[in-house]
């Protein structure tokens, strides 16, 4: 049994059902789970490990619901800098087609280190291209060395160019092997228990890169094992046109037809969804990974975030990318969500002073999406808030720094209104991943060298 006490935080943001914010707050942790939350005076005075958080704000760990770790190898590629989604993909597919298992390892660790340094304690990743012997195992094993929780999505592409899909034929797989490998991964790695560090998700890439049959069979397999389903949906107008032309349905209706709706399904993006489609999400319990930076970066559009939240849809936050962001900063992403929702409100045309002005997203709501919202989307009732019984996943930021000067009357809002900073401490399951501002589980300078060498090799074959 090991105990951990974090105490004297200037403010502790619980994100519990009452959204309590506790001054001089702290947590008492036993074996990776929270036993007590409250003011420091109410907590035990001794523990195996004690962390003094005077001058710090303490929050639940941020949870990333959509990412492609391997794309950290192809950030800011010149030919893909100014392209729309389909052309961006066509530029990058051949480069990704050169990846090796070692590239998957290096990129997974790079992305997770970046995420953890921005307050992230759990991340979902969507790996859908497996060239040269790459396997999802490469990512899972690399993630385990970092100490960050992952939901590893077994992505797939089976609809090559010759069959009317977008990806070139040499990066697609045959559907039998995709399903066989999906089953193997679930049986080998999926942990359904509270406190799980690894969960498996089935995630055919998008309507324009897999067949309807693979979507249906993946859904049946996922439900047989009780794992979640994930895909890209309603990201761009091009995708909508593709679905209407090829399948005779808009993307959401197409998913309904394929049995791809339910509380075990979440979609990345959902930029082009109507109010009826939002209502279908609510009724069926589908979740959304909102990825504001990627949607801006690729000029895809602005998702109706506030409309989805108002309707009662589960929404989490995703950095997406990393070739369409091109960073993995979760606090920065929450800030983007807040700002972009405000821009959308303005573009709606209603005056801010009008009585019927649409509500705008607050800093606290944006943080809620990145914590409670993301946990709900991933189906994790053991994550997302700081309460007794939940996983001891949190991060703390030093408020006594230049970036927050003049904003300390509301440190919670300052985290998003001021420029995004890095976490001083990130703790997952009661263990440090970031300590004193440093990532502790890996040698970062060595990792950056390996990562840059891999990236150079991929771009200059």
Interacting residue ranges for Zn ion, rule: CB under 5 A:
320
Tokens for 154? 């077994």
Q: Which is nearer to Zn ion, 68 or 344 (CB)?
A: 68
Is the CB of residue 145 less than 8 Å from the CB of residue 442? yes
Nearest by Cα to 156 from 137, 188, 182, 117:
182
Q: Which is nearer to Zn ion, 7 or 126 (CB)?
A: 126
Tokens for 122? 């759990």
Shortest reach from residue 126's CB to Zn ion, in Å: 6
Element (H, E) at 141: helix 136-146
How do strand 425-428 and strand 431-435 relate by DSSP bridges? Answer: antiparallel
Interhelix angle 444-459/85-96, rounded to 10 degrees, is: 100
Shortest reach from residue 120's CB to Zn ion, in Å: 16
Other C-beta atoms within 10 Å of 169: how many? Answer: 11
Q: Using only C-alpha atoms, what is the Rg of the chain?
A: 21
Q: Which is nearer to Zn ion, 277 or 320 (CB)?
A: 320
Shortest reach from residue 351's CB to Zn ion, in Å: 35
Cα–Cα distance for residue pair 224/32, rounded to 1 Å: 30
Q: Which is nearer to Zn ion, 322 or 441 (CB)?
A: 322
Residue nearest to Zn ion (CB): 320
Tokens for 357? 């002005």
Shortest reach from residue 247's CB to Zn ion, in Å: 21
Shortest reach from residue 68's CB to Zn ion, in Å: 6
Other C-beta atoms within 10 Å of 174: how many? Answer: 10
- 283-322 as b/e, with b when 16 or more CB fall inside 10 Å? eebbbbbbbbbbbbbbebbebbbbbbbeeebbbbbbbbbb
Shortest reach from residue 71's CB to Zn ion, in Å: 9
Q: Using the structure block, give the residue that is written with the tokens 């990236």.
A: 455
The CA distances from residue 284 to 237, 255, 256, 289, in Å, are 24, 12, 10, 16
How do strand 21-30 and strand 287-290 relate by DSSP bridges? Answer: unpaired
Q: Which is nearer to Zn ion, 286 or 397 (CB)?
A: 286
Q: Which is nearer to Zn ion, 103 or 239 (CB)?
A: 239
3-class DSSP state for residue 13? Answer: strand
Shortest reach from residue 88's CB to Zn ion, in Å: 11
Shortest reach from residue 269's CB to Zn ion, in Å: 7
Shortest reach from residue 268's CB to Zn ion, in Å: 5
Q: Which is nearer to Zn ion, 143 or 386 (CB)?
A: 143
Cα–Cα distance for residue pair 52/436, rounded to 1 Å: 12
Other C-beta atoms within 10 Å of 187: how many? Answer: 10
Q: Which is nearer to Zn ion, 219 or 268 (CB)?
A: 268
- 410-436 as b/e, with b when 16 or more CB fall inside 10 Å? ebbbbbbebebbbbbbbbbbbbbbbbe
Q: Which is nearer to Zn ion, 208 or 404 (CB)?
A: 208
Q: Which is nearer to Zn ion, 156 or 365 (CB)?
A: 156
């Amino acid at each position: 049994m090991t105990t951990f006490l974090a105490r004297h935080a200037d403010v502790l943001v619980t994100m519990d059902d009452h959204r309590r914010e506790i001054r001089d707050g702290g947590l008492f942790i036993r074996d990776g789970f929270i036993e007590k939350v409250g003011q420091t005076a109410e907590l035990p005075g001794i523990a195996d490990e004690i962390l003094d958080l005077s001058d710090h704000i303490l929050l639940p760990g941020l949870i990333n619901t959509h990412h492609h770790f391997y794309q950290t190898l192809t950030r800011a590629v010149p030919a893909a800098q100014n392209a729309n989604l389909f052309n961006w993909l066509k530029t990058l597919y051949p480069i990704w087609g050169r990846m090796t298992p070692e590239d998957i390892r290096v990129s997974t660790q790079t992305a997770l280190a970046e995420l953890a340094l921005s307050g992230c304690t759990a991340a979902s990743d969507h790996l859908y291209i497996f060239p040269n012997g790459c396997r999802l195992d490469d990512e899972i094993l690399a993630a385990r060395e970092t100490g960050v929780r992952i939901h590893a999505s077994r992505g797939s592409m089976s609809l090559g160019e010759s069959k009317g899909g977008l990806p070139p034929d040499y990066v697609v797989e045959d559907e039998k092997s995709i399903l066989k490998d999906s089953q193997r991964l679930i049986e080998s790695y999926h942990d359904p228990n509270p406190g799980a560090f690894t969960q498996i998700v089935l995630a055919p890439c998008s309507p324009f890169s897999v067949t309807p049959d693979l979507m249906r069979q993946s859904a049946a397999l996922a439900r047989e094992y009780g794992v979640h389903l994930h895909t890209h949906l309603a990201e761009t107008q091009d995708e909508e046109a593709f679905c209407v032309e090829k399948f005779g349905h808009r993307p959401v209706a197409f998913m309904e037809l394929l049995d791809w709706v339910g509380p075990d399904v979440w979609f990345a993006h959902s930029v082009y969804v109507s109010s009826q489609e939002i209502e279908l999400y609510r009724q069926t319990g589908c979740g959304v990974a909102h990825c504001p930076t990627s949607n801006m970066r690729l000029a895809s559009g602005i998702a109706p975030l506030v409309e989805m939240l108002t309707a009662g849809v589960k929404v989490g936050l995703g950095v997406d990318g990393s070739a369409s962001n091109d960073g993995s900063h979760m606090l920065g992403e929450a800030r983007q969500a807040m700002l972009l929702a405000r821009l959308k409100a303005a573009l709606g045309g209603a005056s801010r002073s009008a009585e019927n002005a649409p509500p705008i997203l607050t800093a606290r709501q944006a943080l809620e999406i990145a914590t409670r919202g993301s946990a709900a989307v991933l189906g994790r009732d053991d994550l997302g808030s700081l309460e007794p019984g939940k996983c001891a996943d949190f991060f703390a930021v030093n408020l006594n720094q230049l970036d927050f000067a003049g904003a300390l009357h509301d440190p919670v809002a300052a985290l998003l209104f001021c420029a995004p900073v890095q976490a001083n401490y990130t703790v997952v399951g009661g263990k440090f991943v970031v300590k004193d501002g440093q990532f502790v589980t890996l040698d970062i300078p060595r990792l950056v060298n390996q990562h840059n060498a891999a990236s150079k090799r991929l771009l200059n074959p």
